[in-house]
Structure 1
Amino acid sequence: MSLLKTEENNQIEKYINLENNIKTIDRLSSDGQVALHVASFRGHSEIVQFFLTDSAFTSLATISSQLTLFDISKWAEIQRLVITASNLHDFREEIPDNNYIVWSIDGESLIRKGREFREQIDLYKTYDNQHHSITKLLIEIVEYYLNEYLTEQERFSSTKIDEVKRCFRDAIDEQNYLKYFIKAYTLTNSFHRVLNKHLALYILHYFDARPYSSTPAEYRLINCLAHIVTLLINHPDVRQHKYIGLTYRGMLMSPNDLKPYRIGHYILNKSFISTSKNREVAQMYAGSGQESVLGVISTQHDPLEVPVIFKFIIKHDDTGIDIEYMSMVEDEEEVLILPFSVFQVKDRIENGSNTGSPGLIEIELEQCEDNEQINNEKSQKTYNLHNFQEEIPDNNYIIWSICDDNLIKKGEEFREQIDLYKAYDNQHHLITKLLIEIVEYYLNEYLIQQERFPRDQIEKIRDCFTKAIEEQNYLKYFIQAYTFTDSFHRVLNKHLALYILHYFDAQSYSSTPAEYRLINCLVHIVTLLTNHPDIHKYKYKGITYRGLLMKKSDLKPYHIGNYILNKSFISTSKDPAVARMYAGSGQENVLGGLSNHHDPSEVPVILKFTIKQDDTGVDIEHMSMVEDEEEVLILPFSVFQVKDRIEYGSDTDWPGLIEIDLEQCEDNEQVNNKKSKSK
């Protein structure tokens, strides 16, 4: 009996021969119609539902004959069934085409991650196709990743699973993993998309002992992913197919996804990247070629997305594999870039309307020669990994604000959508559950894995949230956590600024389980504070100040009359002298110790906030871990209007200082009335 004997087939296959049934479905009748077409045309939605139990659906021609109202309703139902089944098996909607490259990292740890990955897979370097351990690893991939995980978690059809599984079986039988993995990878759209999604989401967990061993299922998944990658990287024949030179990749990307691709930035890919030696192929995938392959799925793409061509310069033997003659799609001249390759952005060109490719963005990525070169270049920067001063500039919490016409609607939506917290009870079990989720996911997983927080800081912050649960006092202990270290409040505000608006976008909010959990945690953190029953005891009305250094370009939204809505917390002080010190214009400049982190073009700024409403400012002076700053915390989604702006000259006590007066809007109606008059 084969070691790879599968489970019993599904219930339908017990009663009929599905393979023959598929042939029946696709068989042409005398008038040239296929069975599925006939069933749909006649309005037999029950039969269509049966036909779509597997991948045996055929494209439906447009029906031009006259339809009754009843026919139209049946036809709409059939269209819905076809679209649902197509999405289920195709995964285009679920896994956007550009995510494998969006899911890369450009932080300081990318070199270390790549080195760790190579070091931790040394056991594969004595690779022998005939060794029984290779067979065992492949059997585990088949039994768990294909038979269980893809079937149960990703809803892969039995037909597609069988196609992929056949490749891995052949790899065992013929002792040639390289050949048959490439065949599986290029066999269907679904497998390579889902594999890359899983690599992007989970492969970094391989380096973190806690989540790696958190559950047997996650442990097996991460192991399977590591096997898939490392069996290919260390295959004895992989160097026969090495590729050094130029390759291209085309796709559609949103402006937000393009942000990391700035000249000088380093990129490490966590998943496989399919590229082509032929630039024209890449242009078609970017939607800018003569025969755009994206034309048939254009409805899947956001109109804000722009065509992008990535030009990869591959320099190392162990990075690119020329799979043109192994691929199931030979005409794409494909080169596969392996995970954990490091590239630097060398150039970025945006083609104008007067060019041959209007709107196209070209990004040149050159592979790094060696880790030492990168580390030498980066070591020249005065960067503090745990302080995040370079990564998260001090003024970003206010730069990440919005001042367009939507800000009132956003504020209203946020308040309306968190009504469930208004019946807040510290002792309610729901509050405890939300706090546990913040600890388990946001602190224990996200901050450690994505932000590289040191464990000693995580433990201190976690202690605060644990005490909040035990003593049923979130207000007190959140403020302690927020003011305990410099890093936590900076990173929390960065995440609020980047992701909190996704809460109002159903597609972003539910795009991946990881992003869904992150956004939920951020919402819990804010709303548990906003609706805390004791918060009114600490309400603050009056004038507060915030000092910071800002670039002139960041000051542009602060015109007199403009409205500002903050997406994150704002730390202010009742004492203007404290604000002046943070702006670098006080007698005791607290920024003096880290002046190397600031651009010489930055100017000192004092923001003067006039708070008028009860639910905006929280006086945390006696709860804060830094009492002498007389701190008032302004809550997210507060709306202010710029009332005045003063620039001090060289003949004043504060030469070069800019003071901006921000007054809170009394109500949304006032803001809307003023906006309507200005139009």
Structure 2
Amino acid sequence: MKRKEIDFQCPPNNETALHVATRKQNKEIIQMLLLHGAQRSLRNADGQEAYQLAETKEIKDLFKRQNSFRFAFLHSVCKTTPLFQQKIKCESCSLVNDDTFYEWELIDRNASQKALRFRRELKPSTSINKKVLKQKLYSIKKGYITARLQDASVADGERINDYFKRALFQQDPHYIITAYTICQNFSELLNKDMARNVIHDLKNGCSKFSCDCLYSTEDGTKSITNILLHHSTFQQFSFKGEVYRGIVVPKNILDHYKVGSCIITTTFLSTSKNPAVAQVFCDKGSVNSTAHSFFCIYEILDNNRTALDISKISEFEDEDEVLILPYSAFLITKIEEGQETTKIYLKEQCLKNMFGSDESQEHSIKSTACPMELVDSNLLDNMSEILLQEDDNIRPRSKTTPILETYF
């Protein structure tokens, strides 16, 4: 049976086979449908997902993610899958696509300036209309997905490819969230590519025409980020509030985390509105004596696409997921060290990159922290540089690379 047949919503109730099986509490059929990739987030005429029709814990547990590290950044599992095996050759830089561990954040005195530059490059010249969306989705599917899924399992590859095919034909960007939440291998792959691309850019100023790592992934990752940051359909999911995430790493890995440091995210970060969810995943990662659990509490104060509340469109609604978008800035305001778990409190710093009608650039930082929190921060140290430095000191991604406005 094809996936579109499995997910067919039968009128008048608009229920899928998964809805019917769950309503009848049929464990075997539910397992079979989920195994074959039934879409969990589809809602019937009453606005219910199949999960909401489960009456017992046994049936509800069938819908939960198994063996997940989604809300726990596990250093031990971050081994990069080889892309095209021996085909990758970065002729313009010393970086290679091996098992290098790429950080998901930047901490340095110029971090805010770099975040402004990356956000500026992702700002579309026009709104993302149907034509632009189609071009971006085509770029993602034909360029990034087709190439990158050579490293995925057959089952994962078919699922992800199918969701992006639906997104393209139906002109529905919600399927990006479906793909991101249904398959951990895909979300992990996407985030590693994003982190690696930032390092390639910042370390040696790679061009995608001379660096295979960038050539094979940059267009796709930027298009995905651009859609989530700027497409109007996601504005309704903008989130303000407190969210949680676990980090399980050797304790000295985060020695550079200091109160007053400013962190810029370089990837998508999955967090949860429910601290219990993040804590469970965090605990699962603590499996050896060298690992230490860090519990991060993010305070998000700007509802303009710093983070998206995707809990209602995620394939796993029970996770209460909030997705923090790339190039968001957070100030570490407090660190509470514990024997088993260290708590890190982070408050959003609202970065704004504004363009005048003459395309001149004005950089500004709107701090949401109180003055005392900023006294020792790297963000404040760099404030004058950001306001006074001319743009020619901010290296563009590649002065030899033509900018295709329809894609970026």
TM-score by length of 2: 0.61
**Paired position in structure 2 for 1:257:** 253
1:180 equivalent to 2:166? Answer: no
Matches for 1:283-298 after TM superposition, within 5 Å: 283-287=279-283, 294=284
| 1:146 Cα offset (Å) | 1.9
Q: Which residue among 305, 308, 312 is the counterpart of 2:298?
A: 312
Q: Which residue among 362, 372, 383 is the counterpart of 2:365?
A: 372
| 1:144 Cα offset (Å) | 2.5
| 1:101 Cα offset (Å) | 9.3
| 1:194 Cα offset (Å) | 1.1
d(CA) in 2 for partners of 1:199, 1:259: 23
The 3-state SS of whatever aligns with 2:113 is: helix
- 1:536-562 CA-to-partner distances (Å, cap 9, x unmatched) read xxxxxxxxxxxxxxxxxxxxxxxxxxx
Matches for 1:483-632 after TM superposition, within 5 Å: none
Q: Which residue among 301, 315, 329 is the counterpart of 2:316?
A: 329
d(CA) in 2 for partners of 1:379, 1:92: 27
- 1:23-81 CA-to-partner distances (Å, cap 9, x unmatched) read xxxxxxxxx9xxxxxxxxxxxxxxxxxxxxxx99xxxxxxxxxxxxxxxxxxxxxxxxx
- 1:458-502 CA-to-partner distances (Å, cap 9, x unmatched) read xxxxxxxxxxxxxxxxxxxxxxxxxxxxxxxxxxxxxxxxxxxxx
| 1:205 Cα offset (Å) | 4.3
Unmatched 5+ stretches in structure 1: 1-31, 33-54, 57-85, 288-293, 353-358, 386-451, 455-679
| 1:453 Cα offset (Å) | 12
**Paired position in structure 1 for 2:240:** 244
d(CA) in 2 for partners of 1:146, 1:348: 39
**RMSD value, Cα:** 3.6
- Percent identity (aligned): 24
**Paired position in structure 1 for 2:163:** 167
- 1:629-674 CA-to-partner distances (Å, cap 9, x unmatched) read xxxxxxxxxxxxxxxxxxxxxxxxxxxxxxxxxxxxxxxxxxxxxx
d(CA) in 2 for partners of 1:346, 1:379: 12
Structure with more relative contact order (C-alpha pairs < 8 Å, separation 6 or more): 2
**Paired position in structure 1 for 2:231:** 235
- 1:587-634 CA-to-partner distances (Å, cap 9, x unmatched) read xxxxxxxxxxxxxxxxxxxxxxxxxxxxxxxxxxxxxxxxxxxxxxxx
Aligned AA for 1:149? Answer: R
d(CA) in 2 for partners of 1:181, 1:226: 13
Aligned AA for 2:343? Answer: E
Aligned AA for 2:338? Answer: N
Q: Which residue among 193, 199, 206 is the counterpart of 1:198?
A: 193
**Paired position in structure 1 for 2:327:** 340
User: Would you tell me which structure has more helix in proportion to its own residues?
Assistant: 1
d(CA) in 2 for partners of 1:313, 1:101: 25
**Paired position in structure 2 for 1:221:** 217
TM-score by length of 1: 0.38
The 3-state SS of whatever aligns with 1:257 is: helix
Aligned AA for 1:277? Answer: K
Give the 3 Å change call, closer, same or farther, for CA 380–176 of structure 1 in structure 2.
Answer: closer
Matches for 1:416-455 after TM superposition, within 5 Å: none
| 1:183 Cα offset (Å) | 0.4
1:361 equivalent to 2:378? Answer: no
Matches for 1:468-487 after TM superposition, within 5 Å: none
State the number of aligned residues: 279
Aligned AA for 2:329? Answer: V
| 1:339 Cα offset (Å) | 0.4
| 1:343 Cα offset (Å) | 0.1
| 1:284 Cα offset (Å) | 0.5
8 Å Cα contact 1:124-1:231 kept in structure 2: no
**Paired position in structure 2 for 1:116:** 117
d(CA) in 1 for partners of 2:113, 2:270: 24
Give the 3 Å change call, closer, same or farther, for CA 373–240 of structure 1 in structure 2.
Answer: closer
| 1:138 Cα offset (Å) | 1.6
| 1:319 Cα offset (Å) | 0.6
8 Å Cα contact 1:276-1:335 kept in structure 2: yes
**Which has more radius of gyration?**
1
**Paired position in structure 2 for 1:136:** 135
| 1:195 Cα offset (Å) | 0.8
d(CA) in 1 for partners of 2:366, 2:169: 44
Unmatched 5+ stretches in structure 2: 1-27, 29-34, 37-66, 68-73, 81-99, 352-363, 368-373, 386-392, 396-408
d(CA) in 1 for partners of 2:248, 2:187: 18
| 1:135 Cα offset (Å) | 1.8
